[in-house]
Amino acid sequence: MERYDAVVIGSGLGGLAAARALAQFGHARVLVLEQHYTLGGMTHEFSRDGRFEFPTGMHYLGAGSEPFLAFLTDGRAQFAPLPEEFEVLHLAGGEQGLGRDFEFSIPASGERFRARLKERFPHEAGNVDRFFASVARARTGLAARNVLSSFPAAIRRIGFPLVERLYPATYRTVRDELARHFRDPVIRAVLAARWELYGTPPDRSAFGYHASVPMTYYLDGGTHPVGGPKQISGLIVESLERRGVLLRARQQVTRIVTERGRATGVEVEDRTTGDRYEVRAPTVVSAIGVRNTYALLGLEVPALPAEMSTLMLFAGLTKSPATFGLRGENHWFVGEDSLYVSFASLNDPAARFHTVEVLQLVDTAQVDAWRGSTADTRPAAYQAFKDDTVRRLIGRLDARWPGFADNVAFTELATPLSFETYQRSPRGAFYGLSATPERLRSGVAGCRTPVKGVVVAGQDAWNAGVVAAAAGGFMAANAVLKPRQVGALWRAVRTPETVPPWRGYLRVSRVEALTPTVRRLRLAPLDGGTLPFEFTAGQYVTVGLPVAVEPIERSYSISSRPGERRFLEITVKHEPRGLGSTFLHDEVDVGLALAVSGPHGEFTYAPTPGALLLIAGGVGITPLLSMLAAAADGGHPGPIVLLASFRSEEEVLFRAEIDALRLPGLRVFRYGAGHGRIDRDAVAPHVAGVSRVHVCGPPSMMQDVLDLLTTLGVPREAIRTEAFVSGRSTLTRRERAHAIALAAHGEQFTITADDGAFPCRPGQTILDAANAAHIPFPQSCGEGACGTCRVRVLSGSYETDTRGLFTTAELDAGWRLACQTLPTENLRIGAP
């Protein structure tokens, strides 16, 4: 039986936020259990047709959401702003008794929004400021009520009625509060719009929720996460794993176990194997909603108004929505058949294909006729309902933007049954508990439960939306942590730190063909400012390439000078069967944002008093060009020799750039293309008095040169090496790993070092196994390019690729790369 300090049920942002707080500030051992096949809750995205990527819940964020997310992602999340006119309301006059249709654009500024309301409704100008003052009070009341919900029951019993007396507007319906301030039905309709952001219509929703979401959270505009919502959850998961949190997908919690009114753990079913097991923990954080939490406890939820669900249309497009005059703003069609339309792909500089998402909130009873069936057994009538709905929604878009329907290449519709199946929400509810006055007055809406040790995180603990769900996670942590730990948590949230190395997106700002097979790409900050990190000559970046549904990563040396702060450049040779290089050569254009992390690597230039010898094979000259530029900028005083080999004259790289450098001590010798090769005769004249040697090129060339340098008496510690990593070599390692895993039949290996042992799953590299066991291990690229993870294998069998980074003598002594070495039995290694 496993034991943890805390178990978190659900991996939405509420659960992940609670896990982070408990692990970091409560120093707890935390296990996160997720019933779905992927982590991240409603930040999950799915792909269709091999190109279209769709968000399931996070379509855009308020401009004020960044502090919470910066903390959770360790400062690594990036956001692209929506257009200045970021919301457009289309009000159907006849349906709402307005007498005429009305259109209103909302600017990304609270001050300009108020000014526009006064301009469009001059007869109500005096009431606008009074209304926004009421917004501020109602928002404060909701926050006070929600914070109180994390306190013990005695305080809640006193505090809840007091909050309602102090902030009555929080508890009024939206319709009633608007009627108190305005007589004109059009301005009321404008201000009541966008209630779909929290899911309860104006005649039933509490004004506190409306004040907090459309009137405050989105008051100063919207943003979209660069790379899509999955980037947010992916970064958070990485952050949790660095802090020792264990996360498991496909794990269905079937019961919260209690003894004498206190949590003792959870019962779990592994949805992959069908195995059942129990996890003991004194704290259970449930991020799956109040109704689901009470069901796991075997308790009834007091009567509350029913929640709404949604019909959500996902459509892939053949061309950009910009061809219809759209710029990425959201469109709200307000009436009896209200729609929210999002063009997220226009707001994500990393998006390669265009999509549109249409959301329509509906009563969950709309699909009652098919409730109880499964995805595989839905009757034909259900599919007919979906087909009719798709035609109706596409028709609405085509009526607004003529010709739009002809631009639709793919459609898929989610219904309340979809959310009930995948989100496991009761009756497919999209936002959790309805945002009503009854919810505010209920004791179940919040993070506390009747069972000690069980707390609720997520939307039901705070408000609707993914960022509000994170706030609900922090509220759950508030209820568990000690006061001083709570203080430390909120100080950290207010002042988030960025964890190196930098990771984010850079935009391709220039593409240049250097030879028939080599391209140089310039990568610049999204906002056109300075690079978010500094690098040393010789370092590299890792680039995420969206070649398919799942991106691949490749490492590329930086070829530009370190003193250039506006951009960096990488140089890529096209490998005929290389996924990464083919994508960068054939599909990347100026303007696309690429995921980048760095800088990485120890293959770096440092000024030395003696001679510097640089040896390159082909595109291996890339980092050496950066070194030469750094040497020129720093006024390198000593001699520098560059030996560079190329297959043909047309493949010679950087001739003009090197000739332009002001390096009086530089001598350049080029080989290949009829000019011999880099052999002993080429190297021997330049080793006397050399203080450092940098070698970069293909593995076979590297090992030959390393052996030459060793026989010529160059100390090994004076030699720096860096290897190429091709897509094919990475794929080959994965294929070998798969074969080893199959041959092992579930057996587990043990890797023994001088200071202990750790397990290794068949198919894991030594480095992967060490990281999984939290064994400190020198590492950098993880691809076998840098040589940082050197390890000496003393006994046992394995498969490996040495990448040409070792001399023959080192190989004979057992030196290998931990990131490339796949054990096939128990191993003994030297201390890393």
Q: Which CATH number fits domain 611-723: 3.60.20.10, 3.10.20.340, 3.40.190.10, 3.40.50.80?
A: 3.40.50.80
Let me know if domain 2-79+235-304+433-494 sits in CATH 3.50.50.60: yes
Q: How far apart are CA 339 and CA 311, in angstroms?
A: 10
Please, is 152 exposed, middle or buried when counting C-beta atoms within 10 Å of its C-beta (0-12, 13-18, 19+)? exposed
First-residue to last-residue Cα distance in the chain? 32
Beta strands 640-645 and 666-671, pairing class: parallel
Q: Contact 733/820 with Cβ under 8 angstroms?
A: yes
pLDDT digit string (tens) for 705-721?
A: 988 998 999 998 889 98
Yes or no: say if 331 and 393 are a contact pair by the CB < 8 Å rule: no
Q: Is the peptide bond before 832 cis (omega within 30 degrees of 0)?
A: no
Torsion of CA 803, 808, 811, 816, to 10 degrees: -20
Q: Is the peptide bond preceding residue 599 cis, with omega within 30 degrees of 0?
A: yes
Q: Which residues, in sequence order, are bridge partners of residue 331?
A: 88, 341
Q: Determine how β-strand 85-91 pairs with β-strand 339-342.
A: unpaired
Task: Please give the structure tokens belonging to residue 451.
Answer: 């069972």
User: Would you call 558 helix, strand, or coil by DSSP?
Assistant: strand
pTM of the predicted model, to two decimals?
Answer: 0.86
pLDDT at 728: 47
Tokens of 498: 């960025």
Query: Which residue intervals of 259-379 are DSSP H helices?
Result: 290-297
Q: For the chain, give percent helix, strand, coil, nearest 5.
A: 35, 25, 35
Closest by CA position to 343, among listed 179, 206, 224, 195: 224
Alpha helix segments (H runs only) across 371-527? 380-400, 416-422, 437-441, 466-480, 483-494
Phi then psi for residue 649, to 5 deg, are -65, -35
Name the stretches of the chain with pLDDT < 50.
Answer: 726-728
CA distance 40 to 203: 33
Residue-wise burial string across 440-478, b where 16 or more C-beta atoms lie within 10 A, e elsewhere = bebebbbbbbebebbbbbbbbbbbbbbbbbbbbbbbbbb
Q: Supply 340's token pair.
A: 């929210």
Domain 502-589 identical in fold to domain 727-829: no
C-alpha 141/C-alpha 168 separation (Å) is 8
Task: Give dist(CA 801, CA 615) in Å, integer.
Answer: 22
CB 593 within 8 A of CB 224: no
Pick the CATH number of 502-589 from 2.60.40.10, 2.60.110.10, 2.40.30.10, 3.30.750.24: 2.40.30.10
Tokens of 29: 């051992």
Burial of 742 (0-12, 13-18, 19+ CB in 10 A): exposed
The residue count of the chain comes to 832
Q: Are 43 and 58 in contact (CB under 8 A)?
A: yes
Please give the CATH architecture assigned to the domain spanning 727-829: Roll (3.10)
pLDDT digit string, tens, across residues 719-778: 998 865 544 455 556 667 767 877 776 678 999 988 889 999 888 899 988 888 888 888
- Spell out the domain ranges in the chain: 2-79+235-304+433-494, 83-220, 308-426, 502-589, 611-723, 727-829
Q: How far apart are CA 748 and CA 429, in angstroms?
A: 43
Output phi, psi for 719, to 5 deg: -105, 130
Per the DSSP assignment, residues forming a β-bridge with 669 are 643
Q: Are the beta carbons of 572 and 518 closer than 8 angstroms?
A: yes
Please say whether the dihedral angle defined by the alpha carbons of residues 507, 509, 514 and 517, taken in this order, is positive or negative: positive
Structure confidence at residue 806 (pLDDT): 84
Distance, in Å, from the CA atom of 338 to the CA atom of 464, rounded to the nearest integer, reads 19
Single-letter code of the amino acid located at 252: Q
